[in-house]
Amino acid sequence: MTISNKPWGKTNGNNVFLYTLTNKSGLEISITNYGGIITSILMPDKNGQKDEITLGFDSLKDYISEKYTSNCPYFGALIGRYANRIAKGKFSLEGVTYSFICNNGNNHLHGGNKAFHNQVWDSNVINKDGRSILELSIFSNDMEEGYPGNLKTTVLYSLTDDNELIIEYSATTDKTTHVNFTNHAYFNLNGCKSNVENHQLQIFSEKYTEATDEAIPTGKIIDIKGTEMDFFEPHLIGERISKVQGRGYDHNYILKGENGELKPGAIAIDQISGRKLEFFTTEPAVQLYTGNYLDGSLNRGNTVFNERFGFCLEAQHYPNSPNEPSFPSTLLKPGNIYSQTTVYKFSTI
């Protein structure tokens, strides 16, 4: 596996680079230190035809344009300090109430306006256990976007010759805080030729967190067996999507297996191209999102990103965990190390 890089422009006086990870199978994954964004995944199909299978852009200017940032879909970005939603932009910790911008209706989403997805990360290529790895790191000051604690975060991206994209997260803080990180890649295994409704999806989950119309958990854990939410046995994404609350899937699935142990979370297959994606994570849950709010206003060349043009498998703790004591804790305390591993494995059938 090799990692090449090139200058990719500047924003706010900071140099931005584009790194491309390539393995012996011909899989090419491009990542920029702006937002830690996965900008491109070029993958061969069952006949060896290589196509783009993720949503994103070919230039930095598109990611920092008003058209993109005004209604940001977070294409391929690292998300933090808190992925998903915090109800009413507030939580209390050690007797102090912390408030955050409500950038998603009445709620706080994906860390706010100045968050991991739109910051320039320090970047370096390192060697670890014989692997070349892209190392990204960022320092978030105490009370940045309202979050307590000086937070140091490192994310490692590596690509194996078995076509596994491995994402390893770690973080430390000097004050008790809440953290919940993810990557927001959108996948389209048919080479971005049409929407993803004909993708076959399996999720190793029998329960999800019930949510309000604002996608805030009610606190109830719901058994989904036999419902339109159930992907424990494979179904096409579009098969029952019209029955789903809201505009499509945007739900937190509780994964089977132990929190903190790497476990299978989902499998997606496009039968026409033969491309297959397997998802593994140490996190307790995954957010399935089916690109419900893509509206055709964004594009890469002639490829227009219309509604349901990609799906996301976002490894995470539950939304609004800081306000739900019964949920797995997202607390990070001084002296402890946050760690998470997510793997996306690509193959053909």
| Residues 4-44 pLDDT 10s | 999 999 999 999 999 999 999 999 999 999 999 999 999 99
Q: Which two tokens stand for residue 193?
A: 């030729």
Report how far residue 321's alpha carbon sits from residue 234's, in angstroms, rounded to the nearest whole number: 29
pLDDT of the residue at 128: 84
Q: Is the pLDDT of residue 309 over 90?
A: yes
Nearest partner of 166 among 152, 155, 179, judged by Cα: 155
Domains of the chain: 2-348 (2.70.98.10)
Contact residues for 340 (Cβ-Cβ < 8 A; gap 6+): 168, 169, 170, 181, 281, 282, 283, 315
In percent, the amount of the chain with pLDDT more than 70 equals: 100
pTM over 0.75: yes
In percent, the amount of the chain with pLDDT more than 90 equals: 98
Report how far residue 53's alpha carbon sits from residue 185's, in angstroms, rounded to the nearest whole number: 10
pLDDT tier at 234 (50, 70, 90 boundaries)? very high
Q: Is the pLDDT of residue 294 over 90?
A: yes
Catalytic residue among 117, 184, 199, 251: 184
pLDDT of the residue at 131: 85
H or E element at residue 288: strand 285-289
Q: Is the pLDDT of residue 129 over 90?
A: no
Sort strands 28-32 and 38-44 into parallel, antiparallel or unpaired. antiparallel
As a whole number, mean pLDDT of residues 66-91 equals 97
Q: Is 314 a catalytic residue?
A: yes
pLDDT of the residue at 187: 98
pLDDT of the residue at 266: 98
Nearest partner of 73 among 250, 284, 252, 208, judged by Cα: 250
Helix then strand then coil, % of the chain, to nearest 5: 5, 45, 45
Whole-number CA gyration radius for the chain: 19
* pLDDT single digits (tens) 82-99: 999 999 999 999 999 999
Catalytic residue among 168, 278, 314, 324: 314
pLDDT of the residue at 130: 82
Handedness of CA 297, 302, 308, 313 (dihedral sign): negative
> What mean pLDDT value characterizes the chain?
97
As a whole number, mean pLDDT of residues 54-75 equals 97
Q: Is the pLDDT of residue 174 over 90?
A: yes
pLDDT of the residue at 15: 98
**3-class DSSP assignment, residue 250:** strand
